[in-house]
Amino acid sequence: MIRFVTLNEGKYREVSGMLEGAGFECEMLAIDYPEIQCDTLEEVVKSSMAQLTGKIEGDFLIDDSGLFISSLGGFPGVYSSYVYQTIGLEGVLRLLQDVENRAAEFRCCFGLCFEGRNVLFVGGVQGMITQEKRGEGGFGYDPIFVPAGAEKTFAEIPTEEKNKLSHRGKALEKVLEFLKEQ
């Protein structure tokens, strides 16, 4: 049993679908804990794991993800959740209103506490920010992010297809490879 620590139902649906599809049971643990503010997703995940190790029985998985927009110097990056909650997609689109370079990268870092050891797994996907919101699926920044080589936003494609392309899907594939080797 892998316990996925998150308050985000959308993340849980994606992660549990992939884990269960690979034969691993998954349970959502909706635990609120303080998240440090720092420069990298990896630092956030390491700190979160340190806070939760010993408080959660058995193996658990945690993640931090961010949208890094090139023309904004990587902003919102590690502050993606806060920016989404405060200015939303409309605010991000306003920041890019007259900006030609709309290149961005979604990154995800998973931390897996497995049999008492902590392991990190990172995934990323290049893409671009749209001019307007598109699609009804997904969550978070999905309606404004088009992965490289695609025409549709993450919100316009089915979850199964998104998981093959996304930062979270790529990082979780590494988690699954690790678990299968154990």
Given the residues 39, 64, 98, 142, select the one marked as catalytic.
Answer: 64
| Strand partners for 112 | 61, 119
The DSSP H or E segment spanning 61 is strand 60-69
Write b or e for each residue in 81-100: b if 16 or more Cβ atoms lie within 10 A of its Cβ, otherwise e: bebbeeeebeebbebbeeee
| Burial zone of 125 (CB within 10 Å; 0-12 exposed, 13-18 middle, 19+ buried) | buried
Q: Is 64 a catalytic residue?
A: yes
Catalytic residues: 64
